[in-house]
Structure 1
Amino acid sequence: MQLYLQDARKYEYLTAEQERELAVRWRTGQDRRALDKLVGSHLRLVFKLARGYQGYGLPLSDLVAEGNVGLMQAAQKFEPEKGFRFATYASWWIRAAIQEYVLHNWSLVKIGTTAAQKKLFFSLRRLKARMQELESGDLSPEAVSAIATELDVPEAEVVEMNRRLSVDSSLNAPFGEDGDSEWQDQLADDRASHETVIADSEERRQRLDFLKLGLEALNDRERAILVARRLADEPVTLEELSQRFKVSRERVRQLEVRAFEKVQKAVMANARAQQIASSDKSRAWLGA
């Protein structure tokens, strides 16, 4: 791990503009040097996320290796033209790769196969600790009901997962040279960090702002059709809109497609403009 971190520190952190340039070079020209810089600058992110899963008793080097696989998958799928930072996108792939590894290797019995089981595996112990149910064996009916409600999973699966996890090891088993630490102290908190919450909130705000600007590029009829068909909680049928605007259903469909394409182009243009503006501000700050 020391060698890994030494190699990781050789790569500089990237600005948004540098990141986008490297991603474009890789996507359009399969530039291996660009890929190396893009991936290398995020090796420290892999290490940071992998450490959050040490509480499952698996070697950190293996967790990091799986995280690197997720990082490479993210690099293959990343679309820089959408205007979002690579670290935000890659974090999901890295966590997914590490979690899959943990699920398949932590126990002799395969723990998680469905989405509900995976959610239980990575959340059950944290919720038990919060409810002070760590030493109670089978969970109380009240705890089972509360956990099932919070995670939106069947109560039967809560009971089954709790029994399967309890067989493997005790969360209060001591470890470390002095034996003064417990495994439960090392459990990964699957809640988003404060920084992630802020970043996600900012990203959602930007998307809404771009969408509003995109809608301004439409005329009244196009805007009404697009909102009714794609942005409403209950989409309006083509038949209803054809009667409202006195045109055929096919014409409504054509207007919807054209309006969507206009908004899409406007959103991408605004995203690029914001990236350029941010880059100019960074240059001005560095120059100062």
Structure 2
Amino acid sequence: MSAYAVTPYSNTYQQLLSVPTFGDLEAYARAVNSVPMLTPEQEYELSMAYRANPNDLLAAHTLVISHLRVVVAQARKYAGYGLPQGDLIQEGSIGLMKAVKRFDPTRGVRLVSFAMHWIKAEMHEYIIKNWRMVKIATTKAQRKLFFNLRSMKTGDHLSQDEIHNMAKVLNVKPEEVVEMDQRLSGRDIAIDGGMDDDDEAMHMAPIAYLADETQEPTHVLARHQEDTRQTDGLQNALAQLDKRSREIVQSRWLQDDDDKGPTLHDLAAKFGISAERVRQIESAAMKKMKAFLTLEYAR
């Protein structure tokens, strides 16, 4: 038996299968939160085992189950879009499974940081496809506008300067900013459930959630992105590098999801060196971070 084939994860997996995600979300949330977190050593061993043998389903299941709490927490942060939490959890879980399949533990980054991109991507796709108010958000630029417009507004109404600034920053037309703002704040469609007398339908209508400014999804998402990226291990590893090496690693690997990082040639021009030298510095920095994290995990 493999060293990571521990009974608690196997038992919890069976328990989760018996919990109806759409029937009792609170019971599901309690179940996933009861799963013990993996230590860095366990995560590394499981991830290496799965990379070596893609048929090692126990390793994959354990990695997924131990991170389902992250999916549930992220789904709650999108309550402001008025969509079923069960659906969001399901989509986020698909993203988590994709992340586990692609995760490379040798890069020195924890799975939770790597998986967040895939979890959010699946949830974003679901929100875009299913929130009837915002069918306009079909391109990457429009999606970025959709998820950032409210956090960029400084008041109830957009000024002309704000409209043109947002259009420039988000790479869309000014009229698209105006239209999206109208769609997000308008009341001329069935945002309150329409004529449906079904209490459950009324409860799940967007109006039931959007009034709560304290849970505005884009603000919460931005804070969570920052928290997950600033993990202690990663920050300590980056601190071992010189300023140039650290800047290269951060610009190449730690950019925001929607931002395209600089190329080797971009960095070569910035530092006045060759692209090959940038690659060598990056490679040496990653090896140094990996060695540092390996020592940290061994303690």
Provide the TM-score with structure 2 as the length reference: 0.67
Supply the distance in 1 between the matched residues of 2:156 and 2:70 (Cα, whole angstroms). 33
Per mean C-alpha deviation after superposition, the further-off stretch among 162-171 and 30-39 is 162-171
Q: How does 1:3-22 map to 2 (within 5 A)?
A: 3-22=27-46
Correspondence 1:75 to 2:100: yes
Q: Are positions 1:273 and 2:291 aligned together?
A: yes
Tell me how far 1:118 sits from its aligned partner: 0.4
TM-score by length of 1: 0.69
Amino acid at match of 1:231: L
Contact 2:238 2:289 in 1 (8 A): no
Partner SS, residue 153 of structure 1? coil
Q: Does 1:187 align with 2:216?
A: yes
What residue in structure 2 maps to residue 231 of structure 1? Answer: 267
Counterpart of 1:27 in structure 2 is: 51
Query: What secondary structure sits across from 2:97 in the alignment?
Result: helix
The amino acid that maps onto 1:156 is E
Partners of 2:86 and 2:190 in 1: CA distance: 22
With over 3 angstroms needed to count, the CA separation of the structure-2 counterparts of 1:156 and 1:194, relative to structure 1, is same
- The correspondence for 1:37, drawn from 39, 57, 62, is 62
Answer whether contact 2:41 2:298 (CA < 8 A) is retained: no
Q: For residue 4 of structure 1, give the secondary structure of its aligned residue in structure 2.
A: helix
The percent of aligned pairs where both chains have the same amino acid is: 34
Whole-angstrom CA distance in 2 between matches of 1:151 and 1:260: 30
Is the Cα contact below 8 Å between 2:237 and 2:292 reproduced in 1?
A: no
What SS is found at the alignment partner of 1:277?
Answer: helix
Please give the residue correspondences for 1:87-236 in structure 2 after superposition, counting only pairs within 5 Å: 87-107=112-132, 110-128=135-153, 130-133=154-157, 139-165=158-184, 166=186, 167-168=188-189, 183-185=210-212, 186-190=215-219, 192-193=222-223, 196-197=226-227, 199-200=229-230, 203=234, 206-207=237-238, 209-210=240-241, 231-233=267-269
Give the aligned length: 241
Structure with the greater alpha carbon radius of gyration:
1
Separation (CA, whole Å) in 2 of partners of 1:198 and 1:11: 19
Structure 1: gaps of 5 or more residues? 134-138, 216-227, 239-252, 282-288
Change in Cα spacing, 1:124 to 1:107, as seen in structure 2 (3 Å) is same
User: In structure 2, what is the Cα distance between the partners aligned to 1:214 and 1:125?
Assistant: 36
Residues 127 and 231 (structure 1), Cα distance of their counterparts in 2 relative to 1, 3 Å cut: closer
**Where does structure 2 lack aligned partners over 5 or more consecutive residues?**
1-24, 195-201, 247-263
How far off is 1:87 after superposition?
A: 0.4
Residue in 2 aligned with 1:246? none
CA contact (8 A) 1:104 1:111 kept: no
